[in-house]
Amino acid sequence: MFITAFVAVALLQASIVWSSAFDDAGVIAPGGRPSERPNHAIAPYKTGKPLVPSPERNKTCIIQSHGNGLDDSDHILSAIHECNPGGHVVFQKNQTYTVGTALDLTFLRSIDLDIQGTIVFSNDTDYWQANSFNQTFQNATTFFQLGGSDVNVYGGGTLDGNGQVWYDLYAEDIYILRPILFGTIGLHGGRIEDLNLRYSPQWYNLVANSSNVVFSNIDIAGGSRSKNPAKNTDGWDTYRSSHIVIQNSHIDNGDDCVSFKPNSTDIVVQNLICNGSHGISVGSLGQYIGEVDIVKNIYVYNITLSNATSGARIKVWPGISSALSGDLQGGGGSGAVSNITYDGMKISNVDYAIEITQCYGQKNRTLCEQFPSNLTISSVNLRNFYGKTSEKYDPLVGSLICSSPSVCGNITISDVNVTSPSGTNLYECGNIDGIDKMVDCMEK
């Protein structure tokens, strides 16, 4: 069952040490000192809507761990309830907190969560499949959901998703529900900064139904230690969210570095180092019949990408149902992609520098063209790319394939100096008017 406020009061005294708890010398106890709020500058680009500064907090709650791997969810929730609103909650340095209960934290107001220690989610896969929070899109679930207003999370600590057990379980059953490590759900005004995210079972971050949130100085890493790979470990996925900044971070993962899912608008992604990813992706979109997917006003700046499948990628399902895999299928949805800019990308050993497709999940290109996408692509600008692709598609350095020129156009590519290992700069092209004037298209 989910821990609720009813449990919090009874457990309060056991879980919290106040900021007034000093040692005999009158100095705050070691490990319980609050961090200074970082507030990294949002630069060089902003979303156009200023983030309202957070006021000083007026209370401090310091969480004690049970230790010995016991579930600390009761102590965590008690401290948060006591310091919400207006307080500062400290996860102490050099302490490990185990979370074995789904935490609904969507009630937060004017609070700082100062994670100096390590939070580890339990490896009880049966419990989490039954009790994690269903986020409706693509069977996404989360260990916890953090939302509300004026929330800051920082401290230099670590969240560990205990992913290995999930990687091995997914290899046996692709239909299991693997929780996302960090769920920013319904947060309006907040900053997530100076954190280490490790071994997520699936995506590392889902930002859903949120606005005016900044992610800065986030370090993401964690692969499989067995023969079973860590799959679908996107760095960030935004969904039904606006005015989001993701910046100044290092991502070492096995899927999209950042992915803009349906109804992501007014988003800036800048100054990232991505290794082992599937690139910075718009989509996938148009997956569900009857759904209208909008992605617009996206600015991606100064990205370093290495050992990846794609650099800049836009992926849209066709107008007919198709299946990419057993647990990922769809097509026939509608919507629009517009005003998308990729400005500055350094690539190394990337399969495709640029990939645009309206045939996502459909291997039969003839069938895709017979049933063009119901989702349009327009006003896309890609510029200032340089580097070298991998050998995988040599002599090609990119793929630019739409289902029909009537639903895909106004795409501009300039100052892209990317070559294949053999020295070519050819693209696979199809159904985009004027593309052959901007890039060298391989003859069919």
What pLDDT is recorded for position 4?
A: 45
Nearest alpha-carbon partner for 360 in 383, 386, 337, 391: 337
Q: Can you list the alpha helix ranges (DSSP code H) found in 144-222?
A: 164-172
Angle at 204 between CA 198 and CA 208, to 5 degrees: 150
369 three-class SS: helix
Residues of the chain whose pLDDT is less than 70? Answer: 1-31, 327, 444
CA distances from 256 to 391, 426, 436 (A): 20, 24, 28
Burial class (CB in 10 A: 0-12, 13-18, 19+), 379: middle
What pLDDT is recorded for position 137?
A: 86
What pLDDT is recorded for position 12?
A: 42
Mention every residue, 6+ apart, whose C-beta is less than 8 A from residue 6: none
The domain locations on the chain are 5-38+59-441
Give me the residues paired with residue 154 across strands: 114
| Residues annotated as part of the active site | 278
Mention every residue, 6+ apart, whose C-beta is less than 8 A from residue 400: 354, 355, 356, 411, 427, 428, 429, 430, 432, 435, 439, 441
**Amino acid identity, residue 213?**
V
- Kindly indicate whether the domain formed by 5-38+59-441 is annotated with CATH number 3.40.50.300: no
- Model confidence over 383-441: pLDDT tens digits? 999 999 999 999 999 999 999 999 999 999 999 999 999 999 999 999 999 999 999 99
16 three-class SS: strand
Question: Could you say which DSSP state residue 407 is in?
Answer: G
What pLDDT is recorded for position 321?
A: 84
What pLDDT is recorded for position 6?
A: 37
CA distances from 97 to 66, 72, 188, 321, 416 (A): 8, 6, 27, 45, 47
What pLDDT is recorded for position 328?
A: 73
